[in-house]
Amino acid sequence: MSFESNVKLTIALSNPSLDAEEQERETRNLLREIKDLDVESAELVAVAQTPQGSKAFGGFLLGVLQAEVSIANFKKLLGFLGDRLGGKSIELEVEANGKKLKITASSQQELTAALEAAQKFVAVG
C-alpha cells in the first residue's frame, strides 16, 4: 500500500532574551507566515498538549507551534524555515511515516544540517 502522507512538524523557538509577550508575538508572526505557505494546517500548541517542563502563555505553549504539510510541500517549508530562523535556537520535531525525528539547532550552520537531516528522514520514510 503506497500513499503520500503528510509530515507533521513541531517547532519550538527558544530566545532567552525575549520576555513571554515578545516570544508569543514572534511565534504568532511565524505562524502567520507559515499559514501563507501551502500547508495543510498550522497552529499554536495548546496547553493540553504541554510537554513536561514547558512554559505556557495564554492557553498555549510559549514559543511552540505545529504545522502539517504534504510531502510535496515539505521541502518548501524547510526552505522557508531555513531562511526565517537562521541563527535562532529552535527545536524541531518531524513526524512522518509513523516515525519521529527530533533535532535542535542554535546557529545557521546547525539549522542547515538539521533541515538536511529532516529532509533525508522524510525521503527515506
**Inter-CA distances, 43 with 1, 2, 66, Å:** 30, 28, 5
Contact 86, 43 (CB under 8 A): no
What residues form DSSP beta bridges with 10? 66, 93
Q: Which residue has the higher pLDDT, 11 or 61?
A: 11
Q: What is the mean pLDDT of the chain?
A: 86
Q: Is residue 2's pLDDT more than 50?
A: no
pLDDT band at 77 (very low <50, low <70, confident <90, very high): very high
Number of domains making up the chain: 1
The answer to whether position 50 is within a domain reads yes
Mean pLDDT for the stretch of residues 55-77: 85
From CA 28, how far away is CA 61, in angstroms rounded? 11
| CATH number of the domain to which 43 belongs | 3.30.70
The per-residue pLDDT for 69 is 95
pLDDT, tens digit (0-9, with 9 covering 90-100), for 14-31: 888 888 889 889 999 999
> What is the span of the domain harbouring residue 10?
6-124
Q: Is residue 49's pLDDT more than 60?
A: no
The answer to whether position 1 is within a domain reads no
The answer to whether position 16 is within a domain reads yes
